Structure formats: structure tokens, C-alpha cells
Chains A and B, each alone.
Chain A
Amino acid sequence: MSKHRHTLSVLVQNEAGVLSRLSGLFSGRGYNIESLTVAPTLDTAFSQVTIVTFGDDAVIEQISKQLNKLINTIKIVELPSEDCIDREFVLCKVAVKEETRSDILRIVEVSEGKVVNITPRLYTLQAIGNESQISTFIELLRPYGIKELIRSGKVVISRDNQFINAHK
């Protein structure tokens, strides 16, 4: 069976230790986590966790079942990329010289990014986009000297009227 990346959106009770139960399950059972994002939902009694993981169908099925088995897990949805909108966020500090300044600004512009801080030698840039857009943004900047980079995990929302955390 071939291995693929999968995005799981998990609605959990917003309680102490929940994230540890979840991540412990991955390490204890030898599952991969590529990225993990967690924040409270509109109703702060719950949190939405987005996990990008890797494995064949049987492994993903087990991950999903094991996550479901956690007492604090309310719901799990696996989101195929074609059915959802996914976004990541990146902040990076890039070295700036007189001769590279306009190139860097051009990259920020075409990537629909933003310059969020300026010092004489460093620009702090941000960009929002799907995974490949963010990766491209980084690759474009790399030759200019990325001094520091922080990339968020992925958040996803479905395109249709499937609701992961429904609000009335």
C-alpha cells in the first residue's frame, strides 16, 4: 500500500493535557506528525487541532480510530486537499543590501506577502498561502540569505457545507 500525506482535523475538548494525549499517541504508536496546529474554536470549550501526517491507508485508519478513542476527542474529519482550503503562515528575516532590496520587495509583492518590520540590514517578511506557495516563497528568498524563519502548521477548512466545528 502506498504512503500518502493526510490532513486530519480533530475537534477536542479544550482541557489541560489534551494535546499531550494526542501527541503521545503518535509517538507511542510510531505514527508521524509532519505538522500540528491547535487553537480554541469560537466556542472556547473546544479546540481545533489540524494534523498533517504520513502513512498508508491502514495506518491512517488506525490513527483516526485511535484519536477517536481518546475520551476528549469529539470528532475527526479527514480532509482531502481537493475538498478544502488550507493555509500556512510564515515569518522570516532576510538580509537586505542596497542591490537586493528591490528584488526582495518584488518577491514579497508577487507572493502577496508583506514587509512587517524594517531594520537597516534586515527585513522581516510574512506570507500566507497554501503549502506550495509558502515553500516557493521561501525558496525564492533563500539565495538572499534567510537569517531566521518560522513557519506555522497548516489550518484547513472544508469548501462545502461540511462543518468540522459547527456553530449555530
Chain B
Amino acid sequence: MMAEIETQIKKETLNGAKILLECLKKEGVDEIFGYPGGVLLGIYEELYHCDFIKHYLVRHEQAAIHAAEGYARVTGKAGVALVTSGPGATNTITGIANAYYDGYPMVVITGQVGSDQIGNDAFQEADIVGITRPCCKHNYLVKDIKKLPQTIKEAFHIATTGKPGPVVIDIPKDVVASKMEFNYPEKINLPGYNPNYTAHPKQCEKALELLCRARRPVIIAGGGTIPTEAFEELTELANKIGAPVTNTLMGIGAFPADNPLALGMMGMHGNFWANLAVSNCDVLFAVGTRFNDRITGCLKKFACDAKIIHIDIDPCSIGKNVRVDVPIVGDAKNALGTMLELFEAKKPNIHREDKQKWLNQITDWREKKAMPVTTTDKLHPQNVIEKIYEMTKDKDAIIATEVGQHQMWTAQLYKFNKPRRLVTSGGLGTMGFGFPAAMGAQVAQKDRLVFNIAGDGSIQMNIQELATCMEYNIPVKVAIINNGYLGMVRQWQEKIFNKHYSHTKISGPDFVKLAEAYGAKGIRVTKEEEIESAIQEAIDHDGPVFLDFIVEPFEMVYPWVLAGKPINQVLLTNECKGEDQ
């Protein structure tokens, strides 16, 4: 009894800032991205003394969030960012929305003005809980220090389970300063949050029967296959059934690109044969995809003859855009695992001959490939990206991209055999994502080679992070596919708006000099024969590098399905249509 009382007395009280850091430690966080400010002074004071969390000072709060997402994408762990109130907090919105859309775990801690000032339009006050409500998985305003540990515990739980996503915790200045005894809760209490992981076995059985009986099956691997780590099950099931696998942009790497059953990416800029396979299949097995318009094209003409099976952990995704015959709510790994068990138990007839005919048909379609459309002596962007692929493929590199033409070429031409190697903004399509995300990925994977393939437009949106890379020696290699245009928009203007290049011609700095001004290495490449040596030089350089590839401005991304068209109406070059017969 006495001993118990003594330990109670001895237990010291900690302030909110210290408690926050202790909570992060309990959640296994040892690296965070952040930017200080007035209301965060208390937390930064504790960080100054903290030996278990490394803090990376970014140059813009948006970059802190993208970096945390890059970190999350390559590790599967929640990325953590810390920003101040008001503008610090509002600068995070794009990053939070991006992580929410693509479903990657993140905890964003925002400072807030003192509790007594909230609502009074205080200096640097923003209702960040209100602002982020529709673009994060959940958010909290911690009004009482007693709720701080519980809130952090819940935030990490919500961020990393179900369909992962960002959670925002807004902490007023006075909560950071107040004190209490620290106890980290062991349990969470979220009666309204019970993501369903276990797929219904009857539904799995129906799905398996359909797939085995199918004459022309296609599997779509979406982004949901990545956080659930369903790769092995997916590959095994596809191999066993003999069903070809296409992937969405977000699903790249979930199924090895060098597997003979791999069709590569489908959708607006997907492979001709992948789109035709989906359009002509009799059973479509979609694993963890939202059926975004970029992959379905015209919904009325999407996989019209197919029975559709759809696995998703988020029930909202099922039946939202595409009618579904066999819905399966659950974790992709669990559902595919159940299907494999059933397959082993039943040894069903997979109608191999029919499926072989179908694969042969797809092989015929494979002859229709998109080729570069320009014939100038300038660099072809596709060649640059293919060369990056060849020179990094054996190094298990991580490839980030920005958003635009270079992103689509990377998705088409870089053959990813493993998941978590491509870091790209899918749903929100955020220019300026790639560089800070690559930085975060490099922080998480210090021994890996990290490239950011960028456009000259996108890179200018978060170029300031080169200072962060220099400060912490984060050796990201940035390959700028420099065409002097906002290429993807220009491409639409060329095709649809009579070559009226309205505000898409964009200038930039001398990227080589700029890199040098930051103390980084800059290399300009204008000739075909310089590509390889420049990439090699970048790889060999111990530090960040800007590679400025001056490429042909009028190159186009093909294949191309114009917005709203059925995905079997594929343009392969400026003239040639590869329409479905």
C-alpha cells in the first residue's frame, strides 16, 4: 500500500509538449517533418531537448505533408508532420487532401491559438478542424490535456487501419503548456469505427467460381493492394487461375511487370491491350480500386459484358461508380487469401483452354503500341525515362513523380516489379508532390536510390525543398523533363482546343545554376548521347542532383483515351486510332 502511494507521488507531471513527444515515441515515431511558429514554441522547446525524434525542417508546410506521405508510402507506417497555427496549418491542406485521396496514413499535428482565444480571430488563428473536415479521415481539437494521449493513440489507429488516411490533431498553445501525469492508454474507444477486414467467405466462393468459369477474365489491381500488402496472394491467384492482371496508376508494383500475365497500366493513358482486355472481358475482378473516371472512361460502356467482382475495404467504393455483381467488403489480402484456400480445397476446373485463347487474343492486341510522335533531333522524353529505368532497375530504386506527361510516361515505361517503389499522386493529381514526397521517401529509406521524375512546371511548385535536401544531405536525384510547357494541358489544347496554347508555355530558371546556388549538383542534358553519362553522374554523386533534360516540347502521351470516351477508343498516335474491332 505504502509503495503504491509512493510511486504515485513520485510519478512526475509532464507538460503537453513533452507528453506529445512521449506519445509519438510510443507510436514508434522517430522522424518528423515540420515547421515552427508562435504557438509551437513550447513543443519546439521540448524537441530541442529530445533525443529520440529527429525533426526535418522543411521550407514550406505543404512539403512537410508530402514528405510525410512519401515516408508513409515506402514504409507503410504513418508519416508525421508538425506545423504551426493559421497559415502553417492552411498550407497543409493540399497535402492532407492528397493523402486522403490516395489512402496513405499520416498524422498531422497543428498548433492552435490558446483555448480562450479560439473563435476571437486571434493572430494566426484558423479553424483548421473545420477546414480539413472534408479532406481528412478524421480530426481532433484537443481542448484538455487529459485527452491528449487518448487522442494521439486514436489518431494513429485511425490513420493506419481500414483504408488508411490522414488524421489531423489541433492542439491549442495552453494545452501544450499545461501539465499532468503521463500515462499512455492501452485501449482505444471508438465505438463507431470498426473497419471490416474479414471478407465474407460465401462472397469469396462466388468470386472464385466466377473467375474459374470465366473464359475471358481480367484482374484489376488498384491502390488498395498496396497498404494491405496483398501482392503475394494476388500473384499466386492470378497464376493459378491464369488470369491476366492490369493495374491502375495507384496499383503499379502490386503485380510484377515482368510476369507474363501482366498487362501494365489501364485507363486514360493505359496500354491499348489492357483497355481492350477490360472492355471485352466476361469477368472483371477489381481489387482495391475506386473505379475513378481516369480508369473507367465512359461508365455506360465500361466492361459492359462482364460480371464484376469488387473487393474493397471501404464499402463506399463499392457500387459508387460501377455496378457490381459480387461485392466483397474486406481487406484485399484477407479476401485473396480466402480465395486461395478455397482454390486449394476445391481444385476447381479453370477451363485452361478458354483462358489460353483469351491470352492469345490479348497477345495479338499487344502489337499496337504507342510510339513517340515527334521526329526532331531534340531529346525524346520517353527515351530519357526508359534510360532512367534501365540504369536504376537493378538498384531497387524508389521513383517519385510529379503530375503530368512525365508522370504518365513513367507509369508506362518504368517496369515496376515490386510495390512501394512508385510514389505518385493519383487521385488528387498534385503538381509539386513529387519532390517533397521523394525527400520523405529518402528519409525513410536512407540506403536506397531515390529519383524524382519531374516536369519543369511541377518542379517549380516545391523547388524550395532543395534547401532541405542540402541541409540534411537527402540525396534525391531530380530528373526534370524540361519541355518549356505545362505539357499535359498543352497536349489537350493541341488536340481539343485547336492548338491554342493558352498560358501553358512556361519559363523557368536555369535549373543547373539554381541547383548550384543551393549548393547542389546541376547537370544539363541536351543530346541523346549524354543521357547515360549524366544519369550515371547523378547516381554516383553523394547528394541531391538536378538533371535538366531539355526535351522536345511537342511530344504527346499516347495511348490516350479522350475524357468521357469509352476506354476501348484509344488514340495511339496523332493520326492512328487503335479502336476496338
Contacts and interface: CB of A to CB of B under 8 A. Distances in A.
Interface of A: 12-13, 16-17, 20-21, 24-25, 28, 58, 61-62, 65-66, 68-74
A21 B133 contact: yes
The 4 closest A-B pairs by CB, nearest first: A65-B316, A71-B138, A74-B192, A28-B134
Contacts of A65: 315-316
B134 A25 contact: yes
Contacts of A24: 133-134
Interface residues of B, number: 17
Contacts of A21: 133
B319 interface: yes
Nearest to B195: A69
A33 to B, nearest CB: 16
A interface, over-half SS: helix
A17 B129 contact: yes
Contact of A62 (B130, B134, B193, B320): B320
Interface string B279-322: 00000000000000000000000000000000000111001100
Interface of B: 129-130, 133-134, 137-138, 141, 158, 190-193, 314-316, 319-320
B401 to A, nearest CB: 28
B133 A20 contact: yes
Given A20-B130, A25-B134, A71 B193 contact: yes
B387 to A, nearest CB: 44
Contacts of B137: 71
Contacts of B158: 71
B141 A16 contact: yes
A77 B247 CA distance: 36
A62 B191 CA distance: 21
B134 A61 contact: no
B319 A68 contact: no
A97 B192 CA distance: 55
Contacts of B314: 69
Contacts of B192: 12-13, 70-74
A21 B130 CA distance: 9
Nearest to B318: A65
13 contacts: A16-B141, A17-B130, A17-B141, A20-B133, A24-B134, A25-B134, A62-B319, A62-B320, A69-B314, A70-B192, A71-B137, A71-B138, A74-B192
Nearest to A61: B319
Nearest to B315: A65
A26 B315 CA distance: 18
Contacts of A72: 192
Nearest to A21: B133
B361 to A, nearest CB: 34
A69 B319 CA distance: 15
A2 to B, nearest CB: 17
B193 to A, nearest CB: 5
Given A17-B129, A20-B130, A24-B134, A62 B316 contact: yes
A158 to B, nearest CB: 21
Given A13-B191, A74-B191, A74-B192, A68 B315 contact: yes
A137 to B, nearest CB: 38
A77 to B, nearest CB: 14
A70 B314 CA distance: 12
